[in-house]
Structure 1
Amino acid sequence: MILYLHGFRSSPQSFKARVLAARLAELGRGEEWCCPMLPVSPLATIALAELLVAAAPPQHVTVIGSSLGGYFATHLAEKHDWPAVLLNPAIVPQRDLSAYLGEQPLWHGGGSIVVEQRHLDELRALDVASITRPGRYYLFAATGDEVLDYREMLARYPGARTRLIEGSDHAISEFPQYVDDVLAFCDAANVEPPAPKKAA
């Protein structure tokens, strides 16, 4: 399963989600794709992600997180030992989203969400102080991100496989050129390691 977690005010109709879903469909792998609409509550988001994985047949899981979804993906990767791809991930969302308390419009399909102080507290509770096993992560960080600071991303994921994109933007507008690289990482991360050899 490839579990995609979208960003703040976004949806399964986000640009990168649609690119990934279309590529998997082209490859005849559409059944691997899972991209839910996430609730505004961070704790409810984590519970939904875990429920979707638990309800699926036993299989490998890779989580892909964009922006705020990258923050959630990091929490899940550390908790469940899942490999994770992080696309311009949020690093301190409880700080950044403090300016967005109240009703906020959604990017796709109309509608809105209401961000409350308790949601910032929930984000704080999900914080990962420092990552373990950097090899489980693949970080995409764009120097031209107009929303988040790529330097914070690099500092949070030391030792992780990293693609530093010169320029670009928060949405990673040229993402189609990276989609096969993302899927190759998902596939490689989910290959069973060889069984240890028995001592003679």
Structure 2
Amino acid sequence: MNDGDAGGAGGFGARLARELRSARLDRRLSTAALAEASGVSRGAVLKVESGASQPSAALLGRLCGPLGLTLSELFARVEEPGRQDERVVRGAEAPVWTDPASGYRRRSLSPAGAHLELTEIELPAGAAVTYPAAAYARVHQQVWVLAGTLSLTEGTVEHVLAAGDCLTLGPAADCTFRAPAAEPGAEPGARTRYLVVTAPR
């Protein structure tokens, strides 16, 4: 699956909308209750669940906490149809999703059902994505920078990570992932690239 799979009744966007609604109903939450718990407007919840708007990564992160999901778990639910029996994910076939708000690009590298989840992220220069503490409450995470520089603000602590640096996130806290602005003369389209390794607590 790739970014072009967003449309149609069976496309990524439609499956994402269905999974969000299903997760809300499983938790016996009304749209108003989910809105209040996540800090997202009820109108935004309704638009996302109906497929009328494509949610940003930050919005999905806010919704996942009250739904008892991590972002990785949500994406796995959406991406796994047809992948249940795979033990190898070929690089060219790894599911890719691009955040319409920031240009953040997420590529799922792990086979379905793996205990550890590997996700490759690319952030455009100057882009930032913030997730609430609830998005990390049930998982351990490590972040390994593959290219560029990543500023990761964990609660009130900022970590500046260069290529090759690896950080273990501490107790759940609001986190902002930020790529530095492009320097004069930098190659157009430069991105910070990093790997997120997620395991259950």
| Fold-level similarity (TM above 0.5) | no
**Larger strand fraction of residues:** 2
**Larger helix fraction of residues:** 1
Q: TM-score, normalised by structure 1?
A: 0.29
* Larger RCO (alpha carbons 8 Å, 6+ apart): 1
